Structure 1
């Protein structure tokens, strides 16, 4: 964040965690009314498209919703739309659609789909920095994975789970723990049947490992991680991942004092990022360009890119405020629903407690009255005995 000749670790704290969106898009096909199996096959074939064109992902998801009444397909469509909005950093809309997917989840018997949506919900809460809810959903998703009767089918789901945990532990604990989970995520992908097809997850894990190594001031391992992230991004031609990997490498060169090489890489990243509307990526690129141009005393270029950085930063803040407000509203809705469901039980328990209190109060009042009556009788008896004794003593005299 500061003007620098060597980027301090503080700068790296704002590096971006990719929202692991695993799913499943199409190449601009106009979807007519089809049976659910046909639509499902299209989804499975068209993986990774959201990194290239999230708007197409959203459009396709909406077309699926219009074309089917199948609950499972609708859940996938809602999740798909949510993923698209996540890629655009529009967390307000993303949350809206993942909530719709969750509302339908009790109606499905598809365990894999439950794993997918529960994992996505954990990702969404992480995006909104509600970490306890994120971990809660990731725990549920991991349990579903470990209980699944075909363990070879859930390696990718477990990989996503572990990588997202890495994001959280990086922010809440330390990079050492985060790196361990990034590695666990990569190991799960390596066990899957389609390593190349899931290169996006590996690229994301490697990129975030690079960020951790920058925080630890280990430029050698950081460079290696970013280069690996870049290679896996090229496997699937994912523009967003390519841009972030290039930006990460540029940070290494800046830390090493090679400002011209950093500037060259950042311009490559800027060209790559034109294919995707990612404000966070552009913000980081503009910041990097402004700082590197300042380091080599090119003031006009510094002012140009610093202003671009500030403009996007303001836009990001506006979106973040909307997302924060919406997340609070979602929490209110969640608690309202819980309260609604729990009210009958609460009223029943309250009624029982009230009856018990009334009975106890009545018992105590009656007991107290009886004790008073008994005491009065004892006092009267004592007075009578004392009177009789005094009379006897008088007669003796």
Structure 2
């Protein structure tokens, strides 16, 4: 009877284990599916991405999925250009990294921090995290698994070099990044490919090469269409319109800008809308359509008011980050200073003890020798 009960208990334990493992596997597959879908919808429906990310964080007991959930939320806010909120969630993800053994996930979060600080224009901090990510990428044992991460790393460096140095250097990094992303053979990577192509197009405008600028803006649009990235598609059209404006094809420019405006309606990207309104007003001014010029100029002014309000928050956030870093650095240096003082004090006490014991021992030795001499002298006198 006892043996029968033992076998029943063992059977029930195995059944419970199998059911638990099956449920965990199903939950993991569902989370992976949501993350994959959201990475494609990032630029078409960022609010949905944020909501799904919050659900993953709330419902997952697994640290890796919590990190992925926070990263998804951060990506959604980045897409909405709410960098203050985005930074908040990527920092939450970063705080959990020490609890994860997933090296690839660490690379992804460090890359994201590099992207985030670039968006906040804190370039030195961005490079710091990109270097950490690249170091882990070079050490990663499965190089075929990190093409996308290396590609993103190169492209963000391209953004920084475009802002700080020259377009020639930036284009080289954009090309290297795009090549790595294409090796990964994942449709979700076409979002950042579209962004890289758009920035290449802007570089070629700066370099006065309208032909290559146009080619890259068209390629940016094609990449955006693959993932239905409406805001990216709109940016590509805006870039293409800029080339048309430079060439004097104002009606072609207006046509591209109006299509971009339709695409941007669901995204609510203030910077994109500001640039589209400005470009439309300038092109209508060029063809002397005053009513249309005034309409879009007024819209541009209204958007700029909203942008200034948001930029004040972003600047405040950037200064806050710097202040926290400085405070942390001061605390570390103060702590180090106290440790050095404590170490020197202990060392000084040890040295005093050493010499005190040394002199005491020598004094005893001298006293012993003196006693021996005294005894010898007394023996001789006797």
TM-score (ref. length: structure 1): 0.78
Q: Which residue of 1 aligns with 2:199?
A: 208
Residue number among 208, 211, 215 corresponding to 1:217 in the alignment: 208
Partner of 1:249: 240
Matching of residues 5-154 of structure 1 within 5 Å: 35-154=27-146
| 1:120 Cα deviation from its structure 2 partner | 0.5
Once residues 137 and 245 of structure 1 are traced to their aligned partners in structure 2, the CA distance between those partners, rounded to angstroms, is 29
Q: What displacement does 1:317 show?
A: 1.8
Inter-partner Cα distance in structure 2 for 1:358 and 1:186: 62
Structure 1 pair 46–315 and aligned structure 2 pair: CA distance change class (3 A):
closer
Aligned residue in 1 for 2:380: none
Distance 1:299 1:156, change over 3 A: same
What is the CA deviation profile of residues 277-334 of structure 1, one whole-angstrom value per residue up to 9, with x for unaligned ones? 1111111100100110111111111111111112112211211110111122223334
SS across alignment from 2:39: coil
Shift of the alpha carbon at 1:48? Answer: 1.5
Aligned to 1:311: 302
Q: CA deviation at 1:235?
A: 1.3
Report the Cα distance in structure 2 between the residues aligned to 1:120 and 1:287, rounded to whole angstroms: 31
Which of 320, 341, 359 lines up with 1:329 in the alignment?
320
How much has 1:341 moved relative to structure 2?
A: 5.5
Deviation at 1:122, TM superposition (A): 0.4
Deviating runs (4+, > 4 A) in structure 1? 337-344, 353-360
Residues 285, 293 of structure 2: 8 Å contact kept: yes
Counterparts in 2 of 1:164-203, with a 5 A limit? 164-194=156-186, 196-203=187-194
CA distance in 1, matches of 2:63, 2:333: 27
In 1: Cα distance, 2:315 partner to 2:66 partner: 27
User: What is the deviation of 1:47?
Assistant: 2.7
Tell me if the contact between 2:38 and 2:49 (Cα under 8 Å) persists in the aligned partners: no
- 2:254 counterpart of 1:263: yes
> Distance between the aligned counterparts of 1:346 and 1:317, measured in 2?
43
Map of 1:289 onto structure 2 = 280
**Cα pair distance change 1:355/1:149, threshold 3 Å:** closer
- Give the distance between the partners of 2:222 and 2:105, measured in 1 at CA: 30
Check the 8 A contact 1:36/1:70 in 2, yes or no. Answer: no
**Unmatched tracts of structure 2, length 5 or more:** 1-23, 352-382
CA contact (8 A) 2:53 2:72 kept: yes
Identify the range of structure 1 (100-109 vs 262-271) with the bigger mean alpha-carbon deviation.
100-109
Note the alpha carbon deviations across 1:138-173, whole angstroms, 9 max, x for none.
Answer: 111111111111101100111111111111000000
Distance in 1 (alpha carbons) for counterparts of 2:305 and 2:347: 59
Gaps of 5+ in 1: 1-31, 361-397
Cα separation, 2, equivalents of 1:74 and 1:336: 29
Q: CA deviation at 1:50?
A: 1.1
Q: For the Cα contact (< 8 Å) 1:286–1:306, is it kept in 2?
A: yes
**Over aligned residue pairs, what C-alpha RMSD do you find?**
2.3
User: SS at the partner of 2:288?
Assistant: coil
Does residue 157 (structure 1) correspond to residue 149 (structure 2)? The answer is yes
Aligned residues: 328
